[in-house]
Amino acid sequence: MALGRGDGTLTIWNYSTNTTKDLTEHRQDIHAVDWNLVTRDTILTGGWDNSIKLWNADASQSIRTFTGHPAGVNAVSWHPKYADMFASVCDKACNLWDINDTRPVLSIPAHREQIMAVEWSKYDEYQMFTGAVDKLIRIWDIRKAKEPVHTLAGHEFAIRRLKVSPHDPRILASASFDMTCALWDITKLEVVQRFEEHTEFVHGVDFSNLVENRIATCSWDGTVRIWKVDSSLFP
């Protein structure tokens, strides 16, 4: 397990040996961590020191540092198919990267306010999602990224996290500072289910890979909640 800390430390926890390793290269808070599920041994971290670092889980120092954002990095996301490709967001731009180049290969002015979330489709290699303080979610085709394909509006405050279902290509989950998590049908461009029991900002959301209709959220209210997706909404 990889954990990014507020002091800039990346902690890697090996379950099999019950040992931890602390890596301390970021100069400020780490706000984004993503494990490469293609290679299974590389990790990205994004920090408020404006940098992104590439790590090998077994090494004691980073492999590469990427610069190209003018402020702290809010999210990083590996491409689910191409092991050398990832996206990152900061300020109003979404950057696309090749790990062999320390500068972005494409920078998309994706929103008019700070972008907080980025997520790739697991089903369409060219499809990407961004969410921002402007309360909007945008769907992109990276082959023609001058304009979003669609814009989704349905939250009252900033979008903090996005997650595509591993079981159904139509389902996108969004976690928001309006204290809710919404499930979207991206083919209909509408919210079809909303979870509203948190009493503070919802900061994270994820689907169970093993149980098809289960979703988890975490919040500043100090709770993690498990929800059931209403499968009748996605016949």
- Helix (H), strand (E) at residue 184: strand 181-185
Residue type, 133: V
Look at residues 70, 65, 78 and name the one whose alpha carbon lies nearest to residue 33.
78
Per-domain residue ranges of the chain: 2-233
Residue 215 has pLDDT above 90, yes or no: yes
Measured CA to CA, the distance from residue 205 to residue 195 in angstroms comes to 11
Fold entry, domain 2-233? Methylamine Dehydrogenase; Chain H (2.130.10)
32: left (phi over 0), alpha (psi -120 to 50) or beta: beta
Residues 182-193 pLDDT 10s: 999 999 999 999
Query: In 3-state terms, what secondary structure has residue 231?
Result: helix
Residues 62-117 pLDDT 10s: 999 999 888 999 999 999 999 999 999 999 999 999 999 989 999 999 999 999 99
User: Contacts for 216-225 with beta carbons within 8 Å, 24 or more apart?
Assistant: 217/175, 217/181, 219/179, 223/198, 225/195, 225/197, 225/198
